[in-house]
Amino acid sequence: MTDQVIIFDTTLRDGEQSPGASMNTAEKLRLAIKLEKLGIDVIEAGFPAASEGDFEAVSRISEEIRGCEIAGLARTSIEDIDRAWAAISNAAKPRIHTFIATSDIHMKYKLNMSREDVIASAVKAVKHAKSFTDNVEFSAEDGSRSDRDFLCDIFEATINAGATTVNLPDTVGYAIPQEFAELVGYVKKNTPNMNKAILSVHCHNDLGLATANTLAAITAGARQVEVTLNGIGERAGNTSLEEVVMSLKTRPNFFPMNTNIDTKRIHPTSRLVSMITGIIVQPNKAIVGANAFAHEAGIHQDGVLKNPMTYEIMQPESVGLSSNKLVLGKHSGRHALKSHLKEMGYDLSEDELKTVFTQFKILADKKKHVHDEDLEALITEGILQITDIFSLEYLHVSSGTTVHPTASVALSINGRSVKGTAYGNGPIDSAFNAIADLTGTESELLRFSVSALTGGTDAQGEVTVRLGEKGIIALGRGADADIITASAKAYLNGLNRLEYLKKNPVTASEVL
């Protein structure tokens, strides 16, 4: 007999706390739809009290998603809980998730509260949340550094107050697998009423042990895991959804547990997260990295050709890597494109399909074959982008060994066309200087990276930039067959995201 492990996805909340990874409402909603299809049990849609933008996003997701639970995060304050409920009240399956720190260092220096005060605050919060919904989760922030008997006390009190899930977070990624498993086992054994609630864990990756700690916790009795796609999140990130789920699926002899995840949707969902946030998945990332199923060594190649299981412990198709041989090119029609996009997991409206098809034909005239990665880039630029304040009208550069690099740029700024010219150390620097002059931005370019979406000399270039301005960090992304144009698009996308974040600031502090 196998147990069920509840998959609680916090990509839209904790994952969004990755520097510069903030998403707007439309982006969050599209990702939430993808998460629902993936088979997520609980989507933590956001922190409604953090900002108006977060409240709006959680509200929209609650209205649209009907197949899984929608959680709103709240501190143990009446105002936070009221705000969370206002955002999720229209959800088919709403959950209020409230938290307070329980480690001595947090209680002394951050909260300035005694243990008794913390328990009282937690119980009051859970009871208030319970007045709205029976589905209440309580989290003991910095649980892995908390006194284990105090954890048992606060979990017992909050379960008595009505919590149906209690969460033990390794907030700062401090735990070691054996130690964390022992803590989970101790809490499960010594909390008298633990049989009335689900024990959950939420691990961070500061020591690179988030997945290991989560799996150790499962073996010790935890039955909910809090995870993110691609492991994104605060600092070094969160537990990676794909790593936990595929570990359970690949090693059923060691983990006799089930999940509701449709693993064939993992890779396309991972790609969508990367496209929306602009955070590139490292090539050697487990499960979803570009090299996860690549074999270069001759001995490995020979073995895989004879039997894939010699060097592959899971099939690429099991996580959704495409095995479809349909080739899209300039002669492909709208129906073929729509059908292929649906197989990729994109159910586009007619207006969205029209937008993507127009750009697809333009790209197909430049490239012999259009790959899935190219189509995803078109969807990102045509559908997923935030409302642009700045957009590129044209770009002309002059550069070479005997020419001083120059860029002439025309932009649309709130619908008004402006033009300018600038010099630089190279064509991209020149284009950035011209854009900076025209937009009047005070931002600093913190990072610039470029990669090819596919193989071949006609591959589209994908550029990611990281911009900073007065403590606000934003990521920008652009793709084009011309790498200089891709760079300009990425820079403008980053500037648009900065403007969005200025109007929708996240005011809440780091949590869990």
Q: Considering the chain, what percentage of its residues have pLDDT values greater than 70?
A: 90
Structure tokens at 115: 């243990």
Terminal Cα distance for the chain, rounded: 33
Q: Residue 509: what pLDDT? A: 46
Is the Cβ–Cβ distance between 183 and 168 less than 8 Å?
yes
User: What confidence tens digit (pLDDT) does each residue in 409-433 have?
Assistant: 999 999 999 999 999 999 999 999 9
What residues are paired with 95 via a beta bridge? 71
Distance CA 492, CA 434 (A): 11
Taking residues 370-391, what's their average pLDDT? Answer: 74
What band does 511 get if pLDDT is binned at 50, 70 and 90?
A: low
* 27 CA to centre of own chain: 11
Is the Cβ–Cβ distance between 194 and 155 less than 8 Å?
yes
Taking residues 13-35, what's their average pLDDT? Answer: 85
Cβ atoms within 10 A of the Cβ of 105, count?
12
Q: Residue 301: what pLDDT? A: 52
Structure tokens at 155: 């979990």
Q: Residue 481: what pLDDT? A: 87
User: What confidence tens digit (pLDDT) does each residue in 87-131 have?
Assistant: 999 999 999 999 999 999 999 999 999 999 999 999 999 999 999
Look at residues 168, 26, 5, 54 and name the one whose alpha carbon lies nearest to residue 101: 168
User: What confidence tens digit (pLDDT) does each residue in 67-78 have?
Assistant: 999 999 999 999
Q: What is the pTM of this model?
A: 0.84
Q: Residue 325: what pLDDT? A: 43
Look at residues 55, 45, 40, 42 and name the one whose alpha carbon lies nearest to residue 14: 45
Q: Which amino acid is at 369?
A: H
Taking residues 360-365, what's their average pLDDT? Answer: 81
- Averaged pLDDT of the chain: 89
Q: Where are the domains of the chain?
A: 3-277, 293-323
Look at residue 228 and tell me whether its pLDDT is greater than 80.
yes
Distance CA 45, CA 62 (A): 8
96, 100, 103, 109 alpha-carbon torsion, rounded to 10°: 160
Task: Give the strand pairing for 69-75 and 42-46.
Answer: parallel
Distance CA 496, CA 504 (A): 12
Q: Find out if CATH 3.20.20.70 is the number for domain 3-277.
A: yes
Distance CA 477, CA 125 (A): 41
